[in-house]
Amino acid sequence: MMGKERYPDATRLMITTDSGGSNGTRVRLWKAELQKFSNETGLEIQVSHFPPGTSKWNKIEHRLFSAISLNWRGRPLVNHEIVINLIESTTTRTGLKVRAAIDTNLYPKGIKVSDAEMESLCHQPEPFHGEWNYTITKSMDNF
């Protein structure tokens, strides 16, 4: 909730993301967790997924990963410490600085989100490609 501390008057958060992996457009847990985050922070969360196969349009991701790839080019990635150090030492001429850390938390696998839970989401599809663009608002229920 660091962002809420930096911007205490914020009422809305916009997330742009690709359409695959754990944050995919059809991933139930992604939307359920966004609902929980909205409930905790009171933020309205607007999500805009890049169409499938087009994550290369994400300019931030493109800048970040190309710089990291150049930084670790030709170096053997034999352990986590080397990977983290190479990522953290990545900078660009335009001022990009990268922070990295190993997440040692354990996360449960196989979490299922029921149809009833999905129905209780405060999820509003946008008029243009509502399957990729939607807003999640704070729920009055305890989700």
Instruction: Give residue 57's pLDDT.
Output: 64
Instruction: Give residue 40's pLDDT.
Output: 94
Instruction: Give residue 132's pLDDT.
Output: 92
Instruction: Give residue 58's pLDDT.
Output: 67
Residue 55 DSSP SS3: helix
Residue length of the chain: 143
Query: What are the residue boundaries of the structural domains of the chain, listed by start?
Result: 2-136
Instruction: Give residue 26's pLDDT.
Output: 86
What end-to-end distance do the CA atoms of the chain give, in Å?
Answer: 19
- Within the chain, which residues score under 50 in pLDDT? none
Number of neighbours of residue 90 by Cβ within 10 angstroms: 19
Separation between Cα atoms, residue 85 and residue 48, nearest integer Å: 32
The reported pTM is 0.74
